[in-house]
Amino acid sequence: MARTKKSPTSEKTRVKKKEGKLKVLIVAAEVAPYASVGGVAFVMKHLSKALTDLGYDVRVFMPKFGSIDETINKISMEYEGLEVPTGDEMGTKLICNVKKVSNENGFTTYFLENQEYYEKRANVYGYSDDPTRWALLARGTLEFIRTGIFVPDVIHCNDWHTGLLPNYVKTVYRKDPILGKIPMVFTIHNMMFQGMIDHRHMSELDYDDGRSHIPSFFADRLNKLNFLKRGILYSDALNTVSKTYAKEILTPEFGEGLDKLLMELKGRLFGIINGIDYDELNPATDTLVEKNYDIGSLELRDENKNALQKEYDLPIKPNVPLFGFVGRLDIQKGVDLLVRTLRQVLAEYNIQFVQVGGGDGGLAEMLNYLKNDFPDKVGIHPYPNFALPRMLFSGCDLFVYPSRFEPCGVVQLEAMRYGAIPVVRHVGGLADTVENFDSSTGKGTGFVFKYFNEFSLFGQMIRAMEVYNNTSLWRQLQENAMRQDFSWNFSASEYVKLYERAAHFRKKEIPTKK
């Protein structure tokens, strides 16, 4: 639901260390704009910026992939010849460099440079030795901290790629005078991805209990480790990217085999919703939309709807409800359910549907068949695209997001920012951010269904169409949606509280010297 803004000044004063600014090191496999495959990259960027704006000393640590241009990004050398132990019996070390850039957002990004594992790779993910690459990132981060160039007050790890970092700290580096005392926060962005393993169908021989020693970078066993489990086990505080998802993963339905472990650790598990950048995503100033508008000039959205219909070669029909979907084509997002339901709605009702986003080939084929069967009602673009999503946000009347599960989701937040109304399933972050509209009171921000089936989704789509036809109710709903505040400042202050909790838990673990 909408959050009440807190004073950034008072919040900062409350959590700020007496002796100086809280120093935070955020570690992730991808960070925008340097590498951005999924939504995590933008979460890292916006969270870092928001923490910096609140007055904290934030640094980011990530690999330096071959696609990152040093000249364009003005990257400079910070530490040359960093020796990173590989954990083998011979004492082999990989030689890396650490480079850095300070961007306009005010925080510094460090890049771990290694010729073999990062520089020669065009892609962020998808290599057979990915476990080695992420083990190198984890241990490289720690060895860099040991140089003393930047010693954080807290290390914030993100997703399974960084899961070994807390594991190393609590085992290999447990007696290190610097690393042994630093609290660690671990953010679970998606329980489905736990490492280079099929955690649902593992043999007993391959099962990782999470407690055995970390094998060397070059051992076959490394490929069978559950990085996510280890990040959960060894971190001081945990969080997911929504409060509802934090509760859901304690159940077998959403816990992906780790629900019992998480239940044991639930006293250290919290939920913090992701935010969006309200400066960048602003319909009043966005240069990627046909016509700028705000909450007081919603009638101008008609021009954007017109432009969107032209873009997808659909008939120009200003009074026909235009539904949209922005995001990757993934079974998680419920795209299969969406297409099946749309077949029924398109056959019976006068609506249009447009889509942008690539992914699963089978789901793309389903969309192609839908387009072929309803050529005057459906427009698809089953590929990634930077500009089209903004056109959809500003031109669509409704967005459909029928996820099987959803750790957070930001599309519904972006849609509401632009006055497009979400139709979502009551799971994860969707449940936390979209309130079912009540026609009698005029309260709510979208249309919400509970059960993952065609009947439930069909019902809410029909209900949305009925409200759309009531001009005054529809305007009220749009204004409700646009007034929501899911800016990063609130979420950033919640992360600072989480860092404090991690520090508290860490102190309780460290034996007091007598």
267 and 308 within one domain: no
Per the structure, the complete domain to which residue 354 belongs is given by 298-484
Q: Looking at the domain assignment, is residue 292 inside a domain?
A: no
Residues 202, 233: one domain? yes
Classify residue 142: in a domain, yes or no: yes
pTM more than 0.85: yes
Domain shared by 384 and 262, yes or no: no
CA quadruple 402, 406, 410, 415: dihedral, nearest 10: 20
> From CA 23, how far away is CA 17, in angstroms rounded?
9
Whether 209 and 330 share a structural domain:
no
- Structurally, the chain folds into a number of domains equal to 2
The answer to the question of residue 283 being in a domain is: no
Beta strands in 90-172 (DSSP E): 93-102, 108-113, 154-158
61-85 pLDDT, tens digit each: 999 999 999 999 999 999 999 999 9
Tell me, yes or no, whether 258 and 220 share the same domain: yes
Residues 263 and 302 in one domain: no
Residues 182 and 324 in one domain: no
Closest to 479 in 3D by CA, of 508, 513, 437: 437
The type of residue at 446 is G
Same domain, 473 and 503: no
Whether 1 maps to a domain, the answer reads no
Angle between helices 488-509 and 39-53 (to 10 degrees): 90
For residues 473 and 504, state if they share a domain. no
Residue 321 belongs to a domain with what CATH number?
3.40.50.2000
52: Cβ contacts below 8 Å, ≥ 6 apart: 58, 105, 106, 107
Residue 352 lies in a domain: yes
- Interatomic CA distance for residues 461 and 452, integer angstroms: 14
**In a domain? residue 119:** yes
Parallel, antiparallel or unpaired: strands 57-63 and 108-113 = parallel
Per-residue pLDDT of the chain (514 residues; tens, 9 = 90+): 444 333 333 333 334 443 468 999 999 999 999 998 888 999 999 999 999 999 999 999 999 999 999 999 999 999 999 999 999 989 999 999 999 999 878 899 999 999 999 998 888 998 999 999 999 999 999 999 999 999 999 999 999 999 999 999 999 999 999 999 999 999 999 999 999 888 888 787 888 899 999 999 999 999 999 999 999 999 999 999 999 999 999 999 999 999 999 999 999 999 999 999 999 999 999 999 999 999 999 999 999 999 999 999 999 999 999 999 999 999 999 999 999 999 999 999 999 999 999 999 999 999 999 999 999 999 999 998 989 999 999 999 999 999 999 999 999 999 999 999 999 999 999 999 999 999 999 999 999 999 999 999 999 999 999 999 999 999 999 999 999 999 999 999 999 999 999 999 998 887 655 4
Residue 285 lies inside a defined structural domain of this protein: no
Same domain, residue pair 51 and 25: yes
In a domain? residue 465: yes
Same domain, 112 and 251: yes
Are 318 and 428 contained in the same domain?
Answer: yes
φ/ψ of 102, rounded to 5, equals: -110, 120
